Amino acid sequence: SPEREASRPNLQEFQLRPQEFRPTLNTEPFSRFFLSHPDSCHRMQVSRNGRAQTLSSLCVMACSRTCSQILGLSLGTTALFAAAANTVLLFPNWDVTYLLRGLIGRHAMLGSGLWGGGLMVLTAATLISLMGWRYGCFSKSGPCRSMLTALLSSGLAFLGALICFITSGVALKDGPFCMFDVSPFNQTQAWKHGYPFKDLHNRNYLYDHSLWNSVCLEPSKAVIWHVCFFSALLCISLLQILLVVIHFINSFLGLFCNLCE
């Protein structure tokens, strides 16, 4: 009927051209949510006007910060273990008299596990953790400043771990410092302190366990003490180097996502 035709709305008046309707999305609430809940990054996908790429960058940034927190805690833990292992090497058989008499090997006295794999790595781990939690001066740090701090902390930790790794390898190669009988060398019975396994060119004490209890006379079980704790330092420093490499890659990804944002 004519009355019904007159009451029908004109759809052309409500028709919008595509360029007139451009929905916008404010990503600031999403940024705050993803940075505070990094585990929820995979639960929401926004695919309108290319915003998915921006939110993906935010997710990677949040995961990068979480990774920095974990790496900082892991490096700090390994630094404490390295310091403890080097400290134990100063007291063979839990006896302090050897340290007081100066009868400790130069590798243990060098203390690479204390100041190298210990203090230097612990300082770098503290910086990495502060970057992950955004404490203090890192709360509003820019991408370039964060990358510079990441490079400095990675270099510091890498240098300390590398020094500890090299020192532990040389210590295992030279053998323990102990008192041994030099009569097989000069046909006169005499005891002295030194590195008896350093002159054994045709035999490797690490594989020949029969030498462990027959060469070193004092302290008892010096070879086992030396091999166990320097092997622990070697493994700890190798793990620290691996964690530093992961931190460098994580920092590079965080910088890339900051630039994308």
What is this structure's pTM? 0.72
**What pLDDT does 212 receive?**
86
Question: What would the pLDDT profile of 184-212 be if each residue is shown by its tens digit?
Answer: 555 555 778 889 888 777 778 888 888 88
pLDDT digits (tens, 9 = 90+) for 212-225: 888 888 888 899 99
Question: Residue 82 in contact with residue 56, Cβ under 8 Å?
Answer: no
Q: What is the pLDDT of residues 5-31, one digit of tens each?
A: 555 555 555 454 544 444 444 444 444
Nearest CA among 70, 66, 76 for reference residue 125: 76
pLDDT in tens, 125-165: 998 888 766 654 555 555 567 677 788 888 999 999 999 99
Residue 93 in this model has a pLDDT that exceeds 60: yes
- 165: which 2 tokens? 């790794």
Q: Would you state the pLDDT for residue 231?
A: 96
> Who's near 256: CB < 8 A, 6+ residues apart?
none
Mean pLDDT of 42-63: 48
Burial class, 41, CB count within 10 angstroms (exposed 0-12 / middle 13-18 / buried 19+)? buried
CB-based burial label for 19 (10 Å; 0-12, 13-18, 19+): exposed
Residues listed for the chain:
261
Answer yes or no: is pLDDT of 259 > 70. Answer: no
Judged against a pLDDT cut of 80, whether residue 236 lies above it is answered with yes
Binned at pLDDT 50, 70 and 90, residue 69 comes out as confident
CB 161 within 8 Å of CB 117: yes
Q: Measuring CA to CA, which residue among 247, 30, 41, 34 is closest to residue 158?
A: 247
Cα–Cα distance for residue pair 172/260, rounded to 1 Å: 48
Domain boundaries, the chain: 67-173+220-260
The pLDDT value given to residue 250: 81
Whether residue 52 has pLDDT greater than 70: no
